[in-house]
Amino acid sequence: MIPALFVFAYLSIVVYIGIFAFRKGKDSGEDFFLAGRKLGQFVFLLSLFGTNMTAFAILGSSGLAYRVGIGVYGLMASSSGFVIPLTIFFIGTRLWRLGKRFGHMTQVQYFRDRWECSFIGTLIFALTAAMLVPYIIIGVMGGGTTLEAISQYQTADGATVSWVSYELGGAIVALVVMSYVFFGGMRGTAWVNTFQTLLFLCFGTVAFILISRSVGGFDQVMERLAANPKTASLLSRERIAKEEFFSYMFIPLSAIMFPHIAIMCMTAERVTHFKKTVILYPLCIAAIWIPSVYLGVVSADQFPGLGKGQSDDVILRMLTAHSEVWVAGILGAGIMACVMASDSQILALCTMFTEDIFAYYGGKERFGEKAQVWTGRAFVVVVTVTAYLIALQLKDKAGIFELAIRFAFSGFAALAPIMVAALFWRRSTKWGALAAVIWVAATLIATWLIYNGTEGIAPKPGQPPVAIYPEWGQFLLRTPGNVTVYGFLPVMPMCLGSAVLVVLVSLLTPPPSRATLDRYFPPKPVAAGGGIAA
């Protein structure tokens, strides 16, 4: 129970931070949902990075590296290190300025005002909310997996059991996250994310050094993996098709379309806070992903034969097997800090519901701003309980990495053209946005149905993909963890199709009114002599 006690101590600190933030807060919507738009440089940087580093980053990446190899780092971390900072700089700063100027708190508020749309804005809310729920579920799954693995011990007859079950661990994490989001709002979430980010950034280096020494050193581990025919392919990109590898370059586009990232961009006190964030973000990504992928590959040498759901806890298995009990507890708390980052997603969903549904349809005018805040808190409870119940059904059935890619990342990446068009193309229209939203929703549902319907023919890791409809040739293929289109992940045709629809339908439909366009794209002042003023 010693490692679990360290984790429980960490959870207690997190709850206290949320309660402390509650005491500092006010009963206003802007304070609860955006921390009064006054987050400082240090908190803004660490909380923005922390919101994007969930169980997907540590447990998901290491679990996939266990199955397909070291190329996982190239799939996500390398492209994310370039794309995400650029989108934050060019798109996040513009969202910040517009939010300050017009009082926007969510993306949907901006879309409604920019495109003069009501129902389409509600439809965008419904789709983004549906895609954000799997991300929240990942956090609950990661918490349950962490507590179950960190509290394992051997019985007298050699059986492995846990003091804390997956179900109880998930419930504890869900309750803790719900508590500090409920009380602290954005301020509590940002403070907790800052504390958590510092903790899991330290975790990577320490775990890398301690476990490498315990298993015989980096060189010896690599030599053993290369000498074993079953694991040699993990040290190359052999298990990842080039089309699939290329497809992952589209995934980081999802970052700025994630509601929790967009909303976080509106909390900065000054626009200058974005500069250091853009510089330091790639370094933070490397500090998390390099040790996670490395430990995932090394665990294939230590714990062969794990299934898809079981492989998500390989880092935790390495910790308990190759470190002292108290060290495993401290590092387990570091992992818990990462997997609990679903707090921002819960708060984002809560913010969207209260602003885009409750307030937009008259709730704020009828019941007041204080009622709006408490409605948001009630929604936090509903979302967290729902995510926990779904997470119980997904134990050992879905890998964290694949679950995130298939639903959350692919969907939000495909919505990125909508954000770009709204911010930078004055000719874009609400009908172009509607066409893209329908396309994304339809392709997500189709992918889910095809994936579930082809479980029986799915190949094992390392085996070639299987044609789903042989008469169609290589059009639709089933890989161990995905459905592909001519070898490419669905995210690529989803993104390209969304961009084409936004452009074509916008050109075929009337633009917003001149007053709205002048509001968001003000004309340059004309000098007295008739030229454009400098």
Split at pLDDT 50, 70, 90, the class of 272 is confident
Most confident of 165-174, 318-327, 505-514, 517-526: 505-514
Which residue in 428, 435, 415 sits closest to 114, CA to CA?
Answer: 428
Q: Structure tokens of 150?
A: 């960190």
**What is the model's pLDDT at position 295?**
84
More confident position, 125 or 372: 125
**What is the model's pLDDT at position 212?**
75
The number of domains in the chain is: 1
Boundaries of domain holding 240? 2-18+30-416
**Residue 498 within any structural domain of the chain:** no
**What is the model's pLDDT at position 534?**
40
Q: Is residue 464 within 8 Å of residue 487, measured between CB atoms?
A: no
Q: Rg (Cα) of the chain, in Å, rounded?
A: 23
More confident position, 81 or 341: 81
Split at pLDDT 50, 70, 90, the class of 515 is very high
Kindly report the pTM of this predicted structure.
0.83
**Residue 449 within any structural domain of the chain:** no
* Per-residue pLDDT tens over the stretch 61-115: 888 888 888 888 888 788 888 888 889 889 999 999 999 899 898 999 999 999 9
Split at pLDDT 50, 70, 90, the class of 436 is very high
Q: How far apart are CA 532 and CA 457, in angstroms?
A: 65
**What is the model's pLDDT at position 25?**
63
The CATH number of residue 183's host domain is 1.20.1730.10
Reduced to 3 states (helix: H, G, I; strand: E, B; else coil), residue 64 is helix
**What is the model's pLDDT at position 428?**
95
According to DSSP H, which parts of 91-165 are helical? Answer: 93-102, 107-115, 119-150
**Residue 505 within any structural domain of the chain:** no
Split at pLDDT 50, 70, 90, the class of 157 is confident
**Residue 513 within any structural domain of the chain:** no
**Residue 95 within any structural domain of the chain:** yes
The pLDDT of residue 406 is above 80? no
**What is the model's pLDDT at position 533?**
46
**Residue 508 within any structural domain of the chain:** no
**What b/e readout covers 403-436, taking b as 16+ CB neighbours within 10 angstroms?**
bbbbbbbbbbbbbbbbbbbbbeeeebbbbbbbbb
**Residue 126 within any structural domain of the chain:** yes
Q: Is residue 177 within 8 Å of residue 343, measured between CB atoms?
A: yes
* Per-residue pLDDT tens over the stretch 357-375: 888 888 878 888 788 888 8
DSSP characters over 147-159: HHHHTEEE-TTS-
Q: How many CB atoms lie within 10 A of CB 8?
A: 18
Cα distance from N-terminal residue to C-terminal residue, the chain: 69
The pair phi, psi for residue 373, each rounded to 5°, is -65, -45
More confident position, 441 or 204: 441
Pairing of strands 160-162, 483-485: unpaired
Averaged pLDDT, 302-322: 74
**Residue 293 within any structural domain of the chain:** yes
